[in-house]
Structure 1
Amino acid sequence: MSVINSDLYDELVLLHERICRAIGDPKRLLIMYALHQGPRYVVELADELGIPQPTVSRHLSALHQGGLVEKERQGQTVYYRLSDERIIDALDKMRTILRDKLAASARVVSLTQPDNEEK
Structure 2
Amino acid sequence: MPAQTAAREVERLGLPPGSPLVPAEHAGRRVMAKFFRAIGDPTRLLLLEFLLDGERTVSECIEQVGLSQSRVSSHLACLADCGFVTARRDGRFTRYQVTDPRVVHLISLARALTADNAAALAACVRIDT
Long gaps (5+) in structure 2: 14-21, 121-129
Identify the residue that residue 80 of structure 2 maps to in structure 1: 64
Name the CA distance, whole Å, in 2 between partners of 1:14 and 1:93.
21
Mean alpha-carbon deviation: is it higher for 86-95 or for 3-12?
3-12
- Name the Cα RMSD after superposition: 2.5
1:51-103 CA-to-partner distances (Å, cap 9, x unmatched) read: 22211101001111111110111222211101112113112212212221225
Whichever of the two has the greater Rg, that structure is 1
- The number of residues matched between the two structures is 104
AA in 2 matched with 1:31: L
- Does residue 76 of structure 1 match 2:73? no
- From 9, 14, 18, the equivalent of 2:34 is 18
- Does residue 29 of structure 1 match 2:29? no
Mean alpha-carbon deviation: is it higher for 85-94 or for 28-37?
85-94
Q: 1:7 to 1:64 in 2, by over 3 A?
A: farther
3-state SS of the aligned residue for 1:23? helix
Does the Cα contact within 8 Å between 2:62 and 2:69 map onto a contact in 1?
A: yes
The alignment's TM-score, normalised by the length of structure 2, stands at 0.67
3-state SS of the aligned residue for 1:51? coil
Name the CA distance, whole Å, in 2 between partners of 1:91 and 1:82.
12
The alignment's TM-score, normalised by the length of structure 1, stands at 0.72
Long gaps (5+) in structure 1: 106-119
Aligned sequence identity (%): 30
Identify the residue that residue 95 of structure 1 maps to in structure 2: 111
3-state SS of the aligned residue for 2:40? coil
| Between structures 1 and 2, the one with greater helix share | 1
